[in-house]
Structure 1
Amino acid sequence: MSIRVYIVDDHPLVRQGLTQIISGQEDLEVCGEAEDSSGAMRGIESSNPDVVIVDISLQGNNGLELIKNLKAIHEKLPILVFSMHDESIYAQRALRAGAKAYVMKKESSDKIVDAIRKILKGEIYVSPRVADQVLHQIVNGPTNSSTSPVDRLTDRELEVVQLIGRGLSTREIAESLHLSVKTIESHRAHVKEKLNLRNATELVQFSVQWVDQQDN
């Protein structure tokens, strides 16, 4: 019996590429796909996959929120994050949310297959760089010199920074995340406090620069 894989990514070409990689394995098959969190929740419930591949950037709730929601319902479902976002910032967040693997999109296709097989055996799959990062923090504890400023932010606060950096207004962010304007304003205030930003202008400047760094 084939191992059933469900794909969640907002780019059709990425879903197509993953499908080709997975279908090239005799014992793996794609049982469904979705472009956003709400579609994924419905599709995963009906298709009952053995493993799920999730991107961080999704419309509506992002991949981290989707992982948390999935794990609340399907505690033992193995989840692999496949993303363009810097693993040094997002890998540990993904693991804390409940994912078992983090693979960057720049990696070769065989890494995806290796990661799927590893997490199905109950193991964790991350790059040597992330493994070293985690071990360093266990041994030495987090240090200000080795961490990014955004490490102080919660997953939701980081998501708000991303959306600010992409030019969305407070109301647009609230609509995108299905939250109230007041809640988004509270997140903005917490971000400014944690990052020592004096006003809304500095918050926007920081957010735009940070998003540019992630995209390049």
Structure 2
Amino acid sequence: MSTRIVVADDHPVVLDGIRLMLESLREYTLVGVATSLREIVSVCAETHPDILVLDLNLEGQNGLDLVPELRQRHPALQILIFSAYQSSSLTKKALEAGVDGYLLKDASKAEWAEALSHITQGKMYLSKHLKAGEGLRFDTQPVSTAFPQLAALSEQERKIIRLTAQGLTEQAIAESLFISKHTVHTHKKNIFRKFRLHTNTDLVKFAYENSLV
């Protein structure tokens, strides 16, 4: 009998990719998909999956907020976080919430198979990049409460954050990205506003705390 899986992610391309991957793993069956926290509750109630693959950010809401309710409704459900976030503090937060594994979105098909196998056997699984060699430190790093805003950062904004953290001026960033200094300044103003930052020092600290560099 195959293991029944529900996938919760609000990106159609991601859902299609997971669907194709699961079709190639005969021991698993995709029985439902959800794109919001509300849909997760209804889809799990209808399909009674063995495993829920859960993105952390769904339409601006934190997927971890739903874990206690899911645990109460479906005690045997195993939850595998599937996320682009690789902050050690966020990983710790997810494990403390009671999930059964944490897989990064760059995972290969082989790692997917390994993760699902561990979970179905009742074992915890952490993505290879989150294991000891990558410094999964359960330390005093603050856990960001801005998951939706982090997910909404554009690639251009992420580049500007990384270059600022490297000590580049706005002019140097503009030249590096082939955009105007005014555009860089506007992006930085928007970043500061989103995350309530005030100085470049604040931005650099924020970037390192949230694994943006």
Provide the residue aligned with 1:77 in structure 2. 77
Which stretch has the larger CA shift, 113-122 or 64-73?
64-73
Q: Contact 2:60–2:148 (CA<8 Å) still a contact in 1?
A: no
TM-score (normalizing by structure 2):
0.67
Q: State the identity %.
A: 24
Provide the residue aligned with 1:91 in structure 2. 91
TM-score (normalizing by structure 1):
0.66
How many aligned positions are there? 168
Query: CA-to-partner distance for each residue in 1:82-103, whole Å, 9 max, x for gaps?
Result: 1001142322111111111101
Aligned to 1:10, what secondary structure does the other structure show? coil
Q: Contact 1:165–1:208 (CA<8 Å) still a contact in 2?
A: no
Q: Contact 1:87–1:104 (CA<8 Å) still a contact in 2?
A: no
Residue 61 of structure 1 aligns to which amino acid in structure 2?
A: Q
Q: Unaligned stretches of 5+ in structure 2?
A: 154-191
* Higher helix proportion (structure 1 or 2): 1
Query: Which aligned segments of 4 or more residues in structure 1 are displaced greater than 4 angstroms?
Result: 164-167, 200-203, 206-209, 211-216
Q: Which has the larger radius of gyration?
A: 2
Provide the residue aligned with 1:187 in structure 2. none
Aligned to 2:196, what secondary structure does the other structure show? helix
Provide the residue aligned with 1:107 in structure 2. 107
Q: Contact 2:57–2:147 (CA<8 Å) still a contact in 1?
A: no
- What is the CA–CA distance in structure 2 between the aligned matches of 1:107 and 1:33, rounded to whole Å? 20
- What is the CA–CA distance in structure 2 between the aligned matches of 1:106 and 1:29, rounded to whole Å? 21
Offset, 1:66: 2.0
Offset, 1:163: 3.7
Provide the residue aligned with 1:61 in structure 2. 61
Q: What pairs up with 1:55-204 in 2 under 5 angstroms?
A: 55-59=55-59, 61-127=61-127, 130-132=130-132, 137=138, 142=139, 147-148=140-141, 150-151=142-143, 158-160=144-146, 162-163=148-149, 204=196
Provide the residue aligned with 2:197 in structure 1. 205
Aligned to 1:94, what secondary structure does the other structure show? helix
Offset, 1:129: 5.5
Rate the CA distance shift 1:7–1:204 in 2: closer, same or farther, 3 A: same
Q: Unaligned stretches of 5+ in structure 1?
A: 152-157, 168-199
Offset, 1:72: 2.4
Provide the residue aligned with 1:17 in structure 2. 17
- What is the CA–CA distance in structure 2 between the aligned matches of 1:202 and 1:17, rounded to whole Å? 31
